[in-house]
Amino acid sequence: MARVVVEVMPKPEILDPQGKAVTGALARLGFPGLTVRQGKRFEIDVDGDLTDERLAEVNEAAEKLLANTVIETYTVHVADEAQADEGDR
């Protein structure tokens, strides 16, 4: 079984109120100079072999459901084994 990660972020020109709130909270907690943009991370376990066709299916799922491509960008990548093991905790 392979794990594929889809990371979704607001486009740079889109306001990010959640990221702005976290940035402000970090400054108040003594961590100035950090700017946060908040996104989403999806970890998808794929049954069977991870072929180019299966990876294309995950990309299509990201395009159609996981990301709102009008205001968000996304990346799809295969998780290495260390990342996959961390998700099992």
CATH of residue 29: 3.30.1280.10
Low-confidence ranges of the chain (pLDDT < 70): 81-89
Residue 80: what pLDDT? Answer: 82
Reported as type and span, the H/E element at residue 78 is: strand 72-78
Residue 88: what pLDDT? Answer: 52
What's the burial of 28, exposed, middle or buried (CB within 10 Å: 0-12/13-18/19+)?
exposed
Instruction: Count structural domains, the chain.
Output: 1
- Domain region containing 44: 2-86
Residue 68: what pLDDT? Answer: 98
Residue 89: what pLDDT? Answer: 42
